[in-house]
Structure 1
Amino acid sequence: MNIEFLFAKVLKSLRIKNKLNQEELAFRSNLDRTYISMLERGFHQPTLTTIFALAKALDIKPSDMIKLVEFEYIDEDKGE
């Protein structure tokens, strides 16, 4: 799986954990709802600015968000 899909998995998981729909996450991060949808489906790669905006809206450090993606990457690499 590529990084876009790993980020998508983490983003959707964090959004659901925070009990937000895509529209609310878009509003809180000042992004378009369709862009959130594309990120969650792995069709787009987020910019650094986008990662910071999403992290703030999800009440998580941007570095922790990236760490979650990294953990997914490592787990996948191990075949888990």
Structure 2
Amino acid sequence: MNIFQILMKKKELIPLVVIMTVAASGATSFAAYSLKKSDVIIDRKNNPEPWETVDPNKPQKLITINQQWKSVEELQKVRRATK
């Protein structure tokens, strides 16, 4: 039996199918969005420290309110000393 034939016979299932479709597509799109972010590590062998390449001017959260980035002087000294 075709899924559309079942939905035409039992019309009360249509809202359930719509809600489940929207939820599944939303979960899939958010997962794809999260994979593009810099704090998600997919390939640890080629880029073991991805946080070193994070752009401080680009927001890293889904919603960012009043984000201001200031360089930490002690961290810069440690970076210069270890390189």
Q: Same fold (TM over 0.5)?
A: no
Relative contact order, CA 8 A, sep 6+: which one is greater?
Answer: 1
Instruction: Using structure 1 for the length normalisation, give the TM-score.
Output: 0.27
Instruction: Using structure 2 for the length normalisation, give the TM-score.
Output: 0.26
Larger Rg: 2
